Amino acid sequence: MHKSFDLFFVSSNSHKYIEAKTILDSFGIELGFLKLNLEEIQSHSLNEIAEKKAKDAFSKCKKPIIIEDDGLFIDSLNGFPGPYSSYVFETLGNKGILKLVSSKRNAKFVSHIAYCDKKILKTFVGKLDGTISKSQRGKGWGYDPIFIPKNSEKTFAEINHKNELSHRFKALKKFSNWYLDKLESNDQ
């Protein structure tokens, strides 16, 4: 029998779901997965993309959902690839990014988590500063082998506590506080 969940993560990317599930488990929130390709509008604003993705996900799922839109923003490239991170990863990949980055290596990862149900659309932002490594290090998905979080010497792919400090963790922590309060006030 399928387990019934009250909250679903809608995404085409199972890496994102696995991390989101681990993080929300630690806050006592169960998360189901709906693997779907969502409509992604062209926009400079992660928030605008996230809100549109959330509405699209809710209209398909008809249950309370969260979606996530992320971006890696590299300072010396004026924030590129930012909202285009997914496309740039598929086209240039980590090798291509390393060729573009020169002496100034500061970057940040940003996560926008959007919750949507029948009545509410709400987003939560998490940001993590860091730098771009000089070569790919460690085995990980996406940009993990080239992103070094601040106060670390190792890349996301080399550390084992990514889910305790990532951009995703920071956004989901804000979401959890709000969501658990909401559940509590619905019970009263």
Within residues 45-84, the interface with ligand ITT by CB under 6 A covers 68-70, 72
Closest residue to bound ligand ITT by CB: 142
131 binds ligand ITT (CB under 6 A): no
In the complex, the smallest distance separating the C-beta of residue 1 from ligand ITT, rounded to whole angstroms, is 27
Active-site residue flag, 69: yes
The residue among 79, 88, 10 whose CA lies nearest residue 44 is 79
The only residue of 86, 93, 125, 173 in contact with ligand ITT, by rule CB under 6 A: 86
| Total interface residues for ligand ITT by CB under 6 A | 19
Strands 121-132 and 106-116: antiparallel
Do residues 145 and 138 touch, judged by C-beta distance below 8 A?
yes
Strands 65-74 and 32-35: unpaired
**Which entry of 69, 70, 75, 187 is annotated as an active-site residue?**
69
- Tokens at residue 102, please? 């020169």
Span of 56-64, 129-137, 139-147, 174-182 interacting with ligand ITT by CB under 6 A: 139-147
In the complex, the smallest distance separating the C-beta of residue 96 from ligand ITT, rounded to whole angstroms, is 12
Can you tell me the distance from the alpha carbon of 110 to that of 62, in angstroms, rounded to the nearest whole number?
27
- Which ranges of the chain would DSSP assign to H, the alpha helix? 14-26, 46-61, 85-91, 93-100, 167-187
* Residue numbers annotated as active site: 69
Chain residues binding ligand ITT by CB under 6 A are 11-13, 16, 38, 68-70, 72, 85-86, 89, 141-144, 156, 166, 168
